[in-house]
Chains A and B, each alone.
Chain A
């Protein structure tokens, strides 16, 4: 008697296995959550705006204080078409760029020195702890009194106030100094944290395997501290931005989103009241775009090293 073997199914050649999976279905399965969240966002914002519009239409939210979203968007479109709003956006952004790069450079320098030398750390640590709760705008009166609101170099006749770089906010030292002061503390604090949490065993392991200092810095210390650095830069940028906008409320700078909003507040006509809403709308859009850019940067720098898990895993 011979034992009959069951027929062996050959894999990879049957009709079921050769047929390709439906790409659209796969895509849907893969990104269902993200797509649905976008849909819900649009629905929620649409609902909010339409309720607001209706309340405005039936005079529940009355005109001198509240305006319908359609009116605000129309005015935004007018200002965009005439290009008037862009000069304010770009001058605020230019101030942000300069002051934040100064904050990043000095913050990095101080933070690294604090990590390297104990004396520097002992000196700066209490100062940073003390000065962190001060809002950036509290420094504004001091800088106004000390530096003055007149443009940089103007007293030596180097520029006139109609030149392009004065228009783009580069000539206003007060705003840049205050933005730098506001942005520097989170950077220092986070670099400190990075230095404190650096795992010594990893460094020792690299050293026993004969790595050079340069190699250790590039392959161990930098990837280890990159998330902290990024958090510090993100917080510092946000604080610089807030402080610059708030200081533009107070200062006599002729450009900038904060100036645009507060200047329109002082003239009490219908159009200027709409302009306040337009300014705040543009403000939130600009910062939202900056945040999106930061997220992209985070993805291409930090997730490359595998230091932060990729998003989309929450609940």
Chain B
């Protein structure tokens, strides 16, 4: 976790490393370090439960020997693909950097192969599947600043920290409630999503005396809606300006939510920009997590990204009255 006074804005991506070879462990670790990847290991008997949890993954680095035999490995790869079809599975082969010679079913769920001695194909896949969208540092930093400022204004006596922003490909929804708001500009079109766990937020509301009666899910909805609205407003004022976005071609795609699987799709395989905030009560030490995701599924032109000149900033601070 990084804290608000650190200055690391470049997003990372978490990859699950399913490769037990001690001979190649260092090479994989070095590759991860050099390419902004955070390699995570998991015990084999916990693999599926971990895959079903919210760890915001970008990809799976697999090995053909992971299962002990090729048949076992093929079975594991198929299970991974069934549980998390949105995650690219990249396999390390022993002799050939291709999918040749692998069982047909296994080949279908793998996206590429590489050799430990030549990581170039792995780099290409990581660039293609994870870091395919370039997020300007100023944007990432700005989102953190805006969100921290708004959360601080809403919750007194709470310290706010955040994890290093990450690029994710999974679509699993964190918690039980989320908000969604469109972002429209000349350089981006998509959504911002805020996700939360119901009980944790209800307890936060009660501890801070923010409701007259014990907080219920309507209070939670309202709070999450207002947090979303405030972040959206600041984001809009800072980055979207008065762009004539509405006059342009308004392409839309259906969003799909599967409640049973806790899964949301925005109609694209594009990776998402994810932030996780930790709100910690300074007295009790109790922490609440908020997940924030940016999904630019309709349009993304970072080369046109710019910050809007802050017309009001120099004259009137947020919260102060500007009398006409």
Asked if chains A and B come from one complex, the reply is no
